[in-house]
């Protein structure tokens, strides 16, 4: 996803302008765009005009519309988003309040405005990885030195994001080699596989823990929130479907959970429901956790809380 501009205020309101450049970007756009947001993009509209003699004719014109979103449909086969809503800005071809559907596709620029850009939404428009390219073994030596220094200087942000560094070959170390590296189809596959592999590994660890130390593996939002209250979460596994909820209160609930786990030093894995591991997590309510220590009495604690309520 190409970030053209970003204007987000301190209170979280604002807008970003983006251009989806590959198929996965359409999935990110689907997860970013929500009911109640406003969307601005170019579109084609059929316009009927009447002449002085009373005859009418119609033509298709290209214009730019801003709509308040009411419905979003993701066509995975056509790699397109169809976003329906009411026009909210004056336009010579479309009346205020009239319905229109904007089609978002690859390489079509759009501007998305939200009343609140939460941390989950903002993370979808930031850099996801670091590509280190060179001829020979220079890239390997550089990464080895970089992480040795990270350990020595206790640079946790580097160590936590080590998996985001991808080493690839380039014919030279000059600027012109960037195009060569970024146009390599194998790199696109590796970028997609890096996140997917991380999700698979985290889910495998959860199932292993569920079989060997049941008191350190749990799922369901109430259980996970109770473990979070005890600062017990080592790894949070959460599905991106939960952040697409049209219920703002529910969405904020999960955003808050993610932020609190991170603040407590826990790792957060956001699963794509487009991947098989995300589908498996959705079967477990969409949220699960691997704990730092056992919580054998958590069922009793949840039961007590329910009784008090």
Residue 192: predicted pLDDT: 65
Residue 308: predicted pLDDT: 44
Residue 124: predicted pLDDT: 84
Task: Characterize the bridge pairing of strands 287-291 and 233-239.
Answer: antiparallel
Give me the residues of the chain with pLDDT under 70, please: 127-128, 191-194, 303-309
CA–chain centroid gap for 240, Å, is 7
Residue 307: predicted pLDDT: 47
Q: Give one word for 135, left, alpha or beta, with left for phi > 0 and alpha for psi -120 to 50.
A: beta
Residue 127: predicted pLDDT: 66
Name the CA dihedral angle for 31, 32, 38, 41, rounded to a multiple of 10 degrees.
-90
Q: What contacts 256, CB < 8 A, 6 or more positions away?
A: none
Residue 266: predicted pLDDT: 93
């Amino acid at each position: 996803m190409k970030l053209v501009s970003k204007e987000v205020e301190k209170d979280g309101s604002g807008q970003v302008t983006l251009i989806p450049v590959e198929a996965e970007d359409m999935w990110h756009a689907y997860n970013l765009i929500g009911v109640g947001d406003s969307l601005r993009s170019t579109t084609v509209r059929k316009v009927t005009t009447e002449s002085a003699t009373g005859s009418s004719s119609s033509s298709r014109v290209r214009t730019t519309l801003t709509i308040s979103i009411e419905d979003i449909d993701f066509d995975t086969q056509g790699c397109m988003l169809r976003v329906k809503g009411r026009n909210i800005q004056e336009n010579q071809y479309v009346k205020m309040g009239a319905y229109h559907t904007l089609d978002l596709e690859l390489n079509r620029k759009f501007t998305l405005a939200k009343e609140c850009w939460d941390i989950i939404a903002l993370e979808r428009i930031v850099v996801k990885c670091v590509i280190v390219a060179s001829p020979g073994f220079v890239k390997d030596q550089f990464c080895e030195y970089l992480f040795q220094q990270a350990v020595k200087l206790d640079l946790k942000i580097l160590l936590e994001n080590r998996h985001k560094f991808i080493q690839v070959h380039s014919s030279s170390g000059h600027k012109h080699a960037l195009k060569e590296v970024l146009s390599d189809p194998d790199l696109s596959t590796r970028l997609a596989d890096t996140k997917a592999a991380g999700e698979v590994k985290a889910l495998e660890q959860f199932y292993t823990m569920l079989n060997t130390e049941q008191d350190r593996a749990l799922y369901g939002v109430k259980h996970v929130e109770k473990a979070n209250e005890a600062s017990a979460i080592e790894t949070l596994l959460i599905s991106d479907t939960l952040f697409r909820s049209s219920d703002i209160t529910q969405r904020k609930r999960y955003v808050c959970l993610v932020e609190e786990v991170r603040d407590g030093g826990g790792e957060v894995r956001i699963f794509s429901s487009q991947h098989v591991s995300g589908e498996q997590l959705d079967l477990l309510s969409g949220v699960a956790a691997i704990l730092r220590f056992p919580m054998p009495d958590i069922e009793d604690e949840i039961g007590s809380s329910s009784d008090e309520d």
